[in-house]
Amino acid sequence: MKWVSWPQAGRGFPLGVQASRLRWGKGRPRPVRGGGNMNCVNGSDGAGTPRPRAQARRLHSQGEPVRPCARVCFLLVLLLSPLFAQDRPALTPQAAQLFNSAVDAFRAGKLDTAIERMRQAEKAAPGQPDVTLYLGLFLYEQANDSAEAQRHLEAALPRFPGHPDLPLKLLNSYLLTGKYDRAAQLVSSLKSRLEQDPRFGFNVIYTLVHYGQLGPAQAELTEQSRRLQAEVQFLGGLIAANSGQKAEALGLFEKAQQNAFPPPSSRQTALLADALFQLQEYRRAAESYEVYLKHYPNERLYAFRAALCHYGIADFQKAKQGFEQLLVQTPPTPEVNYYLGATLIELKQVAEAGAYFQAELKQNPRSFKALTKLAYLSYLEGEDEQCQQRLAKSLALNPDWFESHVVSGLLQTRQGQNEQAIRSFEKAIAQEPGYPKAYYQLSIAYKRAGNDAKAQAALETYNRLQSAETVRAAEALGMPVAKEQR
């Protein structure tokens, strides 16, 4: 891609690049009705930070003079935007006085005085980012091709990466002065923002086209087209997932990921993980949650879901690690104790599991799941009476919890109540038709009752279900699964 020289007599932003026309309400900016232009910079700083209450005027384009009062009104709003969006600059009293005096001079339309006083503020507080930013913007307004303005804008950009117009002004100044290598480096450094803010990306393309940088403009336009297509595919996948169209959803997600969407650090990665979880694609969901958590390690909800996925696909050591990490955080995440106890049972560390179910009951006395697990521990210890008491409490809270009926069937089998055990296992299957263990226990009960045909049918169903990883995961998580298809 070649950056070429292009004769340019005018100054200012190219045609098509325009400042935001916003009206402020409660919370976030919203577009002004009427008089708008589709070529507008987004109404935020690119990082979700809203701009102050104002309606910006249109930036002048090539060859179009702007009245001084209009220019001053617009630029005052533009330059003060980051100041309102952030804390006031930490300045010495002298520097703060000079800073405010420069702003007052700018408000009065005295640009030269504003620059002089901001320079004095810079001497009083060297390297202060807000002073550097505003001095660079003032100098740019005085002369778009100012090398001094470029230096200040370059210094400010790392501290204000989401500023609505700073990068566009710097790019415009580079191209105006023929600094094509720096322009190329700037566009390359803006990759993350270009990926996340299509409106900003289009404004960059307008600027490149205006200065005849057609190769770079075409390359960025191709990238923007790919990103937008990928996001359309991703949204289609979300719609399909929520409509229960699994094959359609997975196909669209795959196409979006081939086009590098969603970006790993974006919130859409969490949406993808949730959709995969909903579709019972637990292994892929776990991978997406972990990618997201690398960028947002304090998101406990997604850390919990990642641990659930590992539990569901029988990666119990990793599940245990995830639940233990959540357990030390406050306030406690609901059901972490329950799933950590269940994980310990799967790891054959049964003696340690009971304490976590008791902790879950302490947090939530109505946890029928924890009561059922405690009943199962009592069954394993041969405490039949205690097992029965805990089952009675669990069933009183939720008579439809399938695992309670499985434990009831196990206890009844031990006590020689084979017919009652068959009914309990059948109740479990009625509530959860895809639960393999219930079929296995039912096949044993039918065998004892002398019904070999039904015993064989139940065993075949168990073998068929047990071979499916998604069913195994749903079973472990106690989640609904699709009815068994014959």
Residue 92's pLDDT is 86
> Tell me: the pLDDT tens digits for 428-475?
999 999 888 899 999 999 999 999 999 999 999 998 887 665 555 555
Mutual angle of helices 198-210 and 214-242, in 10-degree steps: 160
Cα gap 341→319, rounded to integer Å = 11
Cα gap 129→155, rounded to integer Å = 8
> Tell me: the pLDDT tens digits for 170-200?
999 999 999 999 999 999 999 889 888 888 9
> Tell me: the pLDDT tens digits for 49-83?
333 223 222 223 333 333 444 444 545 545 555 44
121 and 102 Cβ atoms separated by less than 8 Å? yes
For residue 158, the tally of other CB atoms under 10 A from its CB is 9
Domain boundary among 190, 212, 234: 212
Mean local confidence (pLDDT), 119-147: 95
Residue 301's pLDDT is 93
Domain boundary among 180, 212, 244: 212
Residue 259 counted as domain residue:
no
How much is the mean pLDDT over the chain?
A: 82
Residue 288 counted as domain residue:
no
Cα gap 167→210, rounded to integer Å = 16
Q: Rounded to the nearest 5 degrees, what angle is found at the Cα of 307, between the Cα atoms of 301 and 312?
A: 125
Residue 18's pLDDT is 37
Residue 486's pLDDT is 32
> Tell me: the pLDDT tens digits for 16-50?
443 332 222 333 323 222 333 323 333 333 333 33
* Number of domain units in the chain: 2
| Residue 318 token pair | 């990793």
Residue 250's pLDDT is 96
> Tell me: the pLDDT tens digits for 296-312?
999 999 999 999 999 98
The reply to whether omega before 7 is within 30° of 0 (cis) is no
| Residue 481 token pair | 């699964």
Beta bridge partners of 40: 18
| Residue 44 token pair | 């935020």
Residue 194 counted as domain residue:
yes
Residue 228 counted as domain residue:
no
CATH at residue 115: 1.25.40.10
Residue 279's pLDDT is 93
Cα torsion at 174, 179, 182, 188 (round to 10°)? 70
List CB contacts of 187: < 8 A, sequence separation 6 or more: 171, 194, 204, 208, 216, 220
Residue 90's pLDDT is 64
Residue 310's pLDDT is 94
> Tell me: the pLDDT tens digits for 326-366?
999 878 889 999 999 999 999 999 999 999 999 999 999 99
- Global pTM reads 0.62
Cα gap 272→255, rounded to integer Å = 13
Residue 218 counted as domain residue:
no
Q: Is 481 exposed, middle or buried (0-12, 13-18, 19+ CB in 10 A)?
A: buried
Percent of the chain with pLDDT over 70: 77
Residue 51's pLDDT is 30
> Tell me: the pLDDT tens digits for 204-249?
999 999 999 999 999 999 999 988 999 999 999 999 999 999 999 9
401 and 408 Cβ atoms separated by less than 8 Å? no
Domain boundary among 212, 237, 271: 212
- Domain limits for position 29: 22-212
